[in-house]
Amino acid sequence: MILRNLTHPEVKATRYLAHGGGIAHMVLTHPTLRTMMFLAHASVPPGNKLIGHVDPMEEIYIIQKGKGQIQVGEDLGEVKAGDAIHIPIGYYHELINTGEEEMTLLVVAGLIPSETDF
């Protein structure tokens, strides 16, 4: 069993600026995870955003606290605590905290597919 939380020394050591507007920590990563790339925790202050970007892997954003607006591809939507957002491989995505409190979310990422997977 592997047990981690945001106060775990290995998790605290991974603190980084996430896409220009949030702070993130890697909770679990590959190769510890065998069929996923990582599980990260991110926080986005009010008015900040995770600047739009494209990733080479599938992701799921799970909003834990707060509210905001997300763009995935051409789609725009409002998000709140409890929502899970699927982001397909190669899709542009951006998340803005439109609330008055810090937004927190979990990011689950699948492995980057190899050319032989298609």
In the chain, domain spans: 12-112
CATH node for 12-112 = 2.60.120.10
Given this model, what pLDDT does residue 111 score?
Answer: 82
Q: How far is CA 113 from CA 47, 70, 106, in A?
A: 34, 25, 21
* pLDDT interval class at 114 (50, 70, 90): low
Provide, rounded to the nearest whole percent, the portion of the chain with pLDDT above 90: 87
pLDDT number for residue 35: 87
Task: Say what percent of the chain tops pLDDT 70.
Answer: 95
**Arithmetic mean of pLDDT, 97-117:** 86
Alpha carbon separation from 85 to 34, 60, 78 (Å, rounded): 22, 5, 11
Whether this model's pTM surpasses 0.85: yes
Give the integer Cα–Cα distance in Å for 93 and 53: 6
Average pLDDT value for residue range 34-40: 92
